[in-house]
Chains A and B, each alone.
Chain A
């Protein structure tokens, strides 16, 4: 039982960077923008969070700067795609390449350094309940933040007027513009939010999960987050489930060898990537259903001709 609890805890910790990145990208895509730069924004957040935490000793400052740097990277994407109307796919790729390079440059001096583990939240009495306690009430504050963020985004999209406006812009930007909503302003805000979330995801990885700085440490998590959004059919709750499933795959990979299976480490490392492909196939194979869930204007450029 203890082992199971330990494994599940591992799953949740492994999944949290994905939760942050996926929920941010979900909002971006709901507004009709496809930002393929998640990987780049995540790694920028990772190094920003790591270096600031190490230099100042303050987790709060570190995490805040990760979100800020993530949003700043995203603003570059926003400027290019929304104002200068560049191709979203190409710009997202550029952001990833640029982010990986810049983060490597920034992180030159930090290789091998490590931050202290962040303290866990201790909730009086609750944390001491057997099984339930360790499973639900024994994490660092960021994990609770990630779950709160998912709930918040779900509420925002479905229950608020601004959320409705954001969804409507993702569905049909021309109509939204005709009615009088500022497509570009709303999308910019969504892009910045997505960047901040990706930055947080990266920071979680470098400050809390590992906690060290390694060049290219996001290792495709940004791309997996994009796949999770598809898997979730653009619903926040399902994105959380999807991220935990992928977290599970990552953790299994670590435990299989511990359980005595004779298999090369590299084969196990392929698992998350292969699972992503299989999930994509399963989710997308019904073309009509896939089209029904996706925001109708996803990835299309908007230019106010009138």
Chain B
């Protein structure tokens, strides 16, 4: 029999080691999955996890995917620490793209001011969408998990109906898509010849600000106390509703910004298929990164790698695209399972002192 014994002190080393073990475990489980699918596991793992890192273009594509994941993930991490479960970042992402992209989709004007206005609009859009669950939770005690999720379905439908209607490209042969954004409304490219855009720098900036907030600012402290013990938070004089609002505004705003970046960056227009699940994958990124800024940076890259590697495997080995989703699920499972190591000591009951009656 194996028993768990709680550690008095969380093992700090293990805390940082567990994500690495989780990645290793996922690769092992993934290998088993490929065997079952009748594919060469070593080759598949190599294509997914190694090959993309050997080529500048694929690296730039990883940056493209990592940008929204990091932005959304860092925003979610505040709420997840505080026990505010915004799992509808996908919806806020969608609304952010919609609001931020509405201007260039409707009026192809030129000017240096367009991009900042779009970003601001995207942030406000995401915040507004997140304000609904914030309002309903603080005012009516409605569970934000369900509300944010339901609103995601609504947001995706809303994008679809608007792109089929008012935002449709007048010269677009009736396809459900907006006009292509002009130069002024497109994000500057970071590495020439690739799609990696300046949004990545903003994501890094967000990480630094988040790190400051978490380690040096009373807001970060509030968030930590609230998540670990709501009663201690009210003893400390922290107002729960304020924290709920702030967490949802931060995560909603950053998700909205990520949505605008996606529309103004790699996609370059509004299409119904704009939301591809970054909002959900970012949940995994946040957990895999231990809800810490530096961790989220790495986790964002690892998850982006599974997208790019998954696509490569799709082309080269004829693997289904769903492989990426399975991998991401396995990541989170392995991490959650392995987490037990950090908080508990695993003992073999047989090693208890001799003469035990139990």
Contacts and interface: CB of A to CB of B under 8 A. Distances in A.
Interface of A: 36, 76, 79-80, 84-87, 89-91, 93-95, 97-102, 104-105, 108, 215, 219-220, 223, 226-227, 230, 264, 266-267, 269-270, 273-274, 276-277, 280-281, 284-287, 290, 303, 305
B351 to A, nearest CB: 19
Given A84-B340, A100-B329, A215-B322, 18 more contacts: A84-B336, A85-B344, A86-B336, A86-B339, A94-B284, A98-B329, A101-B328, A102-B326, A105-B320, A220-B149, A270-B154, A274-B150, A276-B146, A277-B142, A280-B143, A281-B136, A285-B140, A290-B141
Contacts of A226: 146
A101 B142 contact: no
Contact of A273 (B151, B321, B326): B151
6 contacts: A80-B336, A84-B337, A85-B344, A101-B323, A280-B147, A285-B142
Place the interface of chain B in its size category: 35 or more
A63 B154 CA distance: 32
A243 B248 CA distance: 30
B240 interface: no
Contacts of B85: 89
A185 to B, nearest CB: 14
B329 A102 contact: yes
Contacts, number: 140
Nearest to A265: B161
Nearest to A87: B336
Contact residues of A: prevailing secondary structure: helix
Contact residues of B: prevailing secondary structure: helix
Contact of A105 (B147, B154, B284, B326): B326
B53 interface: no
A270 B146 CA distance: 15
A215 B6 CA distance: 42
B320 A220 contact: no
B207 to A, nearest CB: 21
B329 A273 contact: no
Contact of A220 (B141, B150, B287, B336): B150
Interface in B315-358: 320-330, 332-333, 336-337, 339-340, 343-344
A305 B6 contact: yes
B30 to A, nearest CB: 12
Interface in B120-145: 136, 139-143, 145
Interface string B154-178: 1001101100110000000000000
B280 interface: yes
B322 to A, nearest CB: 3
B332 A269 contact: no
Given A90-B332, A284-B143, A287-B141, A97 B284 contact: yes
